[in-house]
């Protein structure tokens, strides 16, 4: 276990204990000497962790402390780098792409040198193959956050165009396309719209009659029920 991973594990152990835990117990959990443990605690305290206690009395992490970005494990860091790289390649959404790059820069700026080299090594790459879109996807995200209705011009599989008023609550990112899930007033039901088939998009200024979280919960229950029906049909 590297020192960075050990510090992360020490923080996780402290998080699990509401009452003070002795240095001896902490050292045993980490398979290190007491001297190494005291040095690790001092390191964390120097980095801003609010660890209270002293030898003989035990240690406790004050509630509400947020783990700093530098405490990511190697696997967690690689997942973040890969995810940010994928979002950064979404050329149809410049705001989200730029935000991914900015977030990754902020994280790597506070990483210790060992982890920063891993993050900047470029050992993981992604390839973006997304269908071009005609609208600004950030408008969809904004409507979802503010729970606003949208008016869209939509073209279906056959190329037929319709005007819809939708209540968007979820955007799905797939390898070659993006989909917005919404309640459709025209169909009076849940529908999934490929974003590359939305010709125009405009805010209506109206709030959704139902909260986004309620729509999402109901939609998930319907999707689960549909999967169960398909599974039962396949087994019979």
Q: Where are the domains of the chain?
A: 3-67, 72-120, 137-235
Give residue 87's pLDDT: 84
For 3-67, which CATH class?
Answer: mainly alpha
**Which pLDDT score is estimated for 67?**
52
Reported for 138-146, long-range contacts at CB under 8 A and 24+ positions apart, including other chains, are 138/93, 138/95, 138/96, 139/201, 139/203, 140/168, 140/171, 140/180, 140/195, 140/201, 141/96, 141/171, 143/168, 143/203, 144/168, 144/169, 144/170, 144/171, 144/212, 146/207
Asked if CATH classification 2.30.30 holds for the domain at 137-235, the reply, yes or no, is yes
Cα gap 90→110, rounded to integer Å: 26
Tokens representing residue 141 in the block: 């995200």
Comparing 3-67 with 137-235, is the CATH topology the same?
Answer: no
Q: Mind listing the pLDDT tens digit of every residue in the chain (236 residues)? A: 678 778 888 888 888 887 899 999 999 999 999 999 999 999 888 877 889 988 888 999 886 555 554 567 777 777 888 888 888 877 677 888 888 888 887 777 667 777 777 777 666 666 655 677 889 888 999 999 999 999 999 998 888 999 999 999 999 888 778 899 999 999 999 999 999 999 999 999 999 999 999 999 999 999 999 988 888 887 76
DSSP 99-125: HHHHHHHHHHHTS-HHHHHHHHS----
Half-sphere exposure of 148 (CA within 13 A, CB side): 16
Closest to 67 in 3D by CA, of 53, 50, 86, 43? 50
pLDDT of 152:
97
pTM attached to this predicted model: 0.62
pLDDT for the residue numbered 91: 65
């Amino acid at each position: 276990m590297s020192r960075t991973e050990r510090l992360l594990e020490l923080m996780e152990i402290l998080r699990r204990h509401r009452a003070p835990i002795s240095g001896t117990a902490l050292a045993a959990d980490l398979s290190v000497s007491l001297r190494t443990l005291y040095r690790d605690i001092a390191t964390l305290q120097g980095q801003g962790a609010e660890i209270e206690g002293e030898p003989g009395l035990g240690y406790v992490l004050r509630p509400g402390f947020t783990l700093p970005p530098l405490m990511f494990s190697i696997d967690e860091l690689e997942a973040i780098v890969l995810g940010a790289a994928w979002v950064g390649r979404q050329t149809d959404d410049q705001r989200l792409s730029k935000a991914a790059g900015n977030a990754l820069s902020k994280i790597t700026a506070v990483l210790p040198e060992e982890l920063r080299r891993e993050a900047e090594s470029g050992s993981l790459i992604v390839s973006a193959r997304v269908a071009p879109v005609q609208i600004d996807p950030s408008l969809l995200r904004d409507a979802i956050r503010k729970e606003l209705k949208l008016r869209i011009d939509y073209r279906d599989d056959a190329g037929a165009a319709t005007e819809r008023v939708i209540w968007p609550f979820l955007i799905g990112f797939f390898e070659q396309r993006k989909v917005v899930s919404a309640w459709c007033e025209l169909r009076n039901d849940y529908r999934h719209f490929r974003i590359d088939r939305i010709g125009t998009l405009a805010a209506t200024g109206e709030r959704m009659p139902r909260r986004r979280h309620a729509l999402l919960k109901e939609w998930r229950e319907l999707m689960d029920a549909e999967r169960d029906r398909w599974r039962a049909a396949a087994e019979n």
